[in-house]
């Protein structure tokens, strides 16, 4: 496929190119330059009036709770989402697989329409939960990274005693990892150091929630005498999620020992827990990606995520932040954190992208493309979504 006369946000810095041609071959961006002639019988498309941007990477979701939207608005964080006794846990256990499946499918279609080409799901429910999500995705052309989880949580007394990973659970862990892309652990406060060490020995992608709330940070200090983030890092995760209440020393350790942090600002705010301090995170050298978190408390919309983060951060810090930095968190940085060839328009990278109508009512005239995408664009501005070089939603 050759797309001619199109504007693009190119490379790791999302450089704006007003007009160029983009050749796509074997699922990848093959060549990007102003003068390319189509091969014989190659499909050629005129991209006049369109802006090609990388597909959004929603780097942290829990789509299993899609059936419980706004079910517990006035509850505390633990009452809402605690993995053992929270309302979310009860909903998941008491809902039929068929109902869960239907609403998870709805969420996947919603993400596609909003330009999300890859999502990373912390999948509850053990092996059955992973298999259910894979079944849901079997006929939906969205890219997924499934991080499974054992339904195994320790009490504070067991953590204080540093009780090890049960031998009878090792086979369950092996079976789980054979079916998914890695593990997504609930948090250090539900696992002893020996259990976290056991998880660190797994060979697939590893991630864990950390320092999401003031209570979780306090609990870790009270039970173990250690920082929750430092305990989470003992699992040797490839990335951490949230870090809303991480200290500066926590952030420096994270920058040295992981591929990055996935932040979920709207979800944190929905839980009345503040928003992550991206200025401090960036100063510490952390690579930041964006996620929308639980569907139960938040919509899977990266446009809204970027808009909220950009303006709330500037309001709190009273200083300007380049919108390009926010857009990178939704695209380029997601690819970096995951170590995947996605989130970037560059020769040799996977052709996952969004075609934006530059003449959309809310965007024209587009004087600053990065700002336009971050705080003016919405689902309505999307002309088409492409995954692996194929149009999966909309049309050109």
**Secondary structure element (H or E) that encloses residue 25, with its range:** strand 15-25
User: What's the mean pLDDT in 208-229?
Assistant: 97
Indicate the pLDDT class of residue 92, thresholds 50, 70 and 90.
low
Residue 80 has pLDDT above 60, yes or no: no
Whole-number Å distance between alpha carbons of 110 and 317: 33
User: What's the mean pLDDT in 57-68?
Assistant: 93
Instruction: Among 291, 313, 338, identify where a domain stops.
Output: 338
Domain range enclosing 390: 2-55+344-394
Same domain membership, residue 276 and residue 222: yes
Same domain membership, residue 176 and residue 46: no
Same domain membership, residue 271 and residue 176: yes
Whole-model pTM? 0.95
DSSP 346: S
Q: What is the predicted pLDDT for the residue at 84?
A: 60
Closest CA to 88 of 128, 133, 124: 124
Residue 86 has pLDDT above 80, yes or no: no
Same domain membership, residue 62 and residue 30: no
For the chain, what is the mean pLDDT? 94
Same domain membership, residue 202 and residue 132: yes
Residue 95 has pLDDT above 90, yes or no: no
Peptide linkage before 229 cis (omega within 30 of 0): no
Q: How many domains does the chain have?
A: 2
Same domain membership, residue 75 and residue 21: no
Residue 58 has pLDDT above 80, yes or no: yes
Residue with the bigger pLDDT between 93 and 172: it is 172
Closest CA to 279 of 226, 333, 230, 318: 318
User: What's the mean pLDDT in 217-244?
Assistant: 98
Whole-number Å distance between alpha carbons of 261 and 330: 12
Q: Residue 315: CB partners within 8 Å, gap ≥ 6?
A: none
Residue 337 has pLDDT above 60, yes or no: yes
Report residue 105 as tokens: 């499918």
Q: What is the predicted pLDDT for the residue at 75?
A: 63
Residue with the bigger pLDDT between 177 and 91: it is 177
Task: Quote the radius of gyration of the chain (alpha carbons, Å).
Answer: 21
The CATH number assigned to the domain holding 98 equals 3.20.20.140
Residue 371 has pLDDT above 60, yes or no: yes
The count of other CB atoms within 10 Å of the CB of residue 257 is 14
Residue 98 has pLDDT above 90, yes or no: no
User: What's the mean pLDDT in 284-295?
Assistant: 97
Lowest mean pLDDT across 25-39, 80-94, 115-129, 272-286: 80-94
Same domain membership, residue 101 and residue 61: yes
DSSP 55: P
Residues forming a β-bridge with 54? 353
Question: Would you say 336 and 287 are in contact if contact means Cβ atoms under 8 Å apart?
Answer: yes
Taking CA atoms, 242 is separated from 65, 181, 213, 334, 376, in Å, by: 19, 20, 9, 14, 25
The percent of residues above 90 in pLDDT, for the chain, comes to: 87
Same domain membership, residue 302 and residue 188: yes
Same domain membership, residue 141 and residue 18: no
Q: What is the predicted pLDDT for the residue at 37?
A: 82
Cα angle: 170, vertex 171, 176; to 5 degrees: 100
Residue 77 has pLDDT above 70, yes or no: no
The count of other CB atoms within 10 Å of the CB of residue 378 is 15
Same domain membership, residue 331 and residue 361: no
**DSSP codes of every residue in 275-327:** ---HHHHHHTT--EEE--EETTTS---HHHHHHHHHHHHHHHHTS---HHHHH
Q: What is the predicted pLDDT for the residue at 249?
A: 98
Same domain membership, residue 158 and residue 298: yes
User: What's the mean pLDDT in 343-356?
Assistant: 98
Same domain membership, residue 39 and residue 124: no
User: What's the mean pLDDT in 209-234?
Assistant: 97
The CATH number assigned to the domain holding 349 equals 2.30.40.10
Residue with the bigger pLDDT between 72 and 188: it is 188
The count of other CB atoms within 10 Å of the CB of residue 178 is 11
Sequence-ordered alpha helix ranges (H) in the chain: 77-81, 87-94, 97-113, 126-137, 156-160, 167-179, 193-200, 214-224, 228-233, 248-257, 265-270, 278-283, 302-317, 323-330, 332-338, 369-375
**Secondary structure element (H or E) that encloses residue 353, with its range:** strand 353-357
Q: What is the predicted pLDDT for the residue at 68?
A: 80
Residue 273 has pLDDT above 80, yes or no: yes
């Amino acid at each position: 496929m050759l797309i001619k006369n199109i504007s693009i946000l190119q490379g790791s810095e999302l450089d704006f190119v007003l007009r160029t041609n983009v050749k796509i071959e074997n699922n990848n961006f093959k060549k990007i330059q102003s003068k390319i002639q189509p091969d014989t019988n190659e499909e050629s498309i005129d991209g006049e009036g369109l802006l090609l941007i990388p597909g959004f990477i929603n780097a942290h979701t829990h789509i299993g709770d899609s059936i419980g939207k706004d079910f517990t608005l006035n509850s505390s964080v633990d009452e809402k989402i605690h993995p053992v006794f929270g309302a979310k846990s009860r909903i998941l256990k008491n809902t039929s697989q068929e109902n869960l499946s239907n609403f998870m499918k709805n969420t996947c279609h919603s993400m596609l329409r909003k330009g999300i080409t890859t999502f990373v799901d912390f999948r509850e429910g053990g092996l059955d939960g992973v298999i259910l999500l894979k079944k849901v995705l079997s006929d939906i052309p969205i890219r997924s990274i499934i991080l499974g989880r054992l339904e195994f949580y320790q009490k504070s007394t067991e953590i204080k005693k540093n009780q090890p990973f049960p031998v009878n659970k090792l086979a369950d862990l092996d079976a789980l990892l054979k079916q998914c892309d890695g593990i997504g652990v609930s948090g250090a406060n539900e696992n002893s150091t020996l259990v976290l060490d056991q998880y660190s020995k797994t060979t697939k992608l590893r991630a864990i929630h950390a320092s999401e709330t003031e209570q979780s940070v306090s609990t870790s200090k009270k039970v173990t005498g250690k920082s929750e983030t430092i305990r989470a890092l003992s699992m040797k995760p490839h990335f951490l999620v949230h870090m809303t209440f991480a200290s500066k020393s926590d952030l420096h350790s994270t920058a040295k020992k992981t591929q990055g942090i996935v932040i979920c600002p709207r979800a944190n705010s929905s839980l009345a827990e503040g928003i992550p301090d991206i200025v401090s995170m960036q100063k510490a050298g952390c690579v930041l990606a964006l996620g929308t978190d639980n569907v139960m408390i938040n919509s899977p919309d990266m446009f809204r995520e970027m808009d909220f983060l950009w303006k709330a951060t500037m309001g709190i810090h009273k200083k300007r932040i380049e919108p390009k930095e926010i857009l990178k968190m939704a695209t380029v940085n997601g690819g970096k954190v995951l170590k995947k060839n996605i989130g970037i328009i560059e020769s040799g990278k996977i052709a996952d992208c969004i075609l934006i109508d530059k003449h959309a009512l809310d965007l024209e005239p587009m004087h600053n493309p990065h700002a336009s995408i971050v705080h003016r664009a919405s689902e309505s501005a999307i002309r088409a979504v492409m995954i692996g070089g194929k149009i999966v939603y909309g049309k050109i």
